[in-house]
């Protein structure tokens, strides 16, 4: 697959890789659940250390959402193991998700993680959310200088999982429990029947309803 053509809704490329948790097949590792694949420029770098530490500390939050996490860089496996010990020590956590040793850059190339104008050798801070259908649901790329907000990643996963099952969208700054928006494809008449908690019509195209999967 041409990495440059990877877009939202595309099938996420499968791969086999060596990781700190053993050899994996990406699809087999994800199973029928959701996945987060994120890259970091290099081991033993300060921002990346905090990112992997934060991810480890949020283990229960990811598990509750049926999400499996994988990190990737082009560093070798032995370097990953040494760095993982540092992460556990400095971030007061236990990193037990796979860190992929992508020395051949197979994964980096499949997911277009190397941006030559930023660096010809290191992966940028890319993050992909993969759905149970193995399709790419979200792509975010950060510069090397900026650490990712993993609470935002969880918020997006909550939105993706909610909107996959209900005819709603989530407004700006939405979080679990907030009102959601009825999608334009559903008429107001049908929305009133469909959403038993009620529909607040602001404009014909802007209709709010309480989050449908939360019991009142």
Secondary structure letter of residue 119 according to DSSP = -
- The Cα–Cα gap between 138 and 129 comes to 5
Q: Which of 12, 36, 48, 162 is catalytic?
A: 48
- Alpha carbon dihedral 151, 154, 159, 161, in 10-degree steps, equals -170
- In sequence order, the β-bridge partners of residue 22 are 19
- 3-state DSSP assignment of residue 78: helix
How many angstroms separate the CA atoms of 69 and 58, rounded?
Answer: 11
Cα torsion 169, 34, 130, 210 to 10°: value is 0
Provide the 3-class DSSP secondary structure of residue 184.
Answer: coil
Rounded Cα distance, 72 and 2, in Å: 19
Look up residue 134 and give its two tokens. Answer: 């193995």
Q: Are 125 and 41 in contact (CB under 8 A)?
A: yes
Q: Is 48 a catalytic residue?
A: yes
Q: Which two tokens stand for residue 59?
A: 């283990």
Q: How far is the C-alpha of 131 from the C-alpha of 145, rounded, in Å?
A: 28
Active site residues: 48
């Amino acid at each position: 697959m041409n990495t440059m053509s990877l877009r939202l809704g595309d099938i996420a490329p499968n791969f086999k890789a060596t990781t700190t948790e053993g050899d994996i097949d990406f699809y087999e590792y994800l199973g029928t659940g959701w996945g987060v694949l994120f890259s970091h420029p290099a081991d033993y770098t300060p921002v990346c250390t905090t990112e992997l530490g934060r991810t480890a500390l949020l283990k229960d939050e990811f598990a509750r959402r049926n999400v499996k996490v994988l990190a990737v860089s082009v560093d070798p496996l032995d370097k990953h193991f040494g760095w993982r010990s540092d992460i556990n020590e400095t971030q007061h956590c236990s990193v037990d998700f796979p860190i992929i040793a992508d020395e051949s850059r197979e994964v980096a190339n499949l997911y277009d993680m190397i941006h030559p104008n930023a660096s010809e050798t290191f992966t940028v801070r890319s993050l992909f959310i993969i759905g149970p259908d193995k399709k790419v649901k979200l792509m975010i790329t950060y510069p090397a200088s900026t650490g990712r907000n993993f609470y935002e990643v969880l918020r997006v996963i909550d939105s993706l999982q909610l909107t996959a099952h209900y005819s709603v969208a989530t407004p700006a700054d939405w979080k679990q429990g907030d009102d959601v928006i009825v999608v334009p494809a559903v008429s107001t008449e049908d929305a009133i029947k469909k959403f038993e908690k009620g529909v607040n019509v602001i404009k014909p195209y802007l209709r709010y309803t309480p989050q449908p999967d939360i019991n009142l």
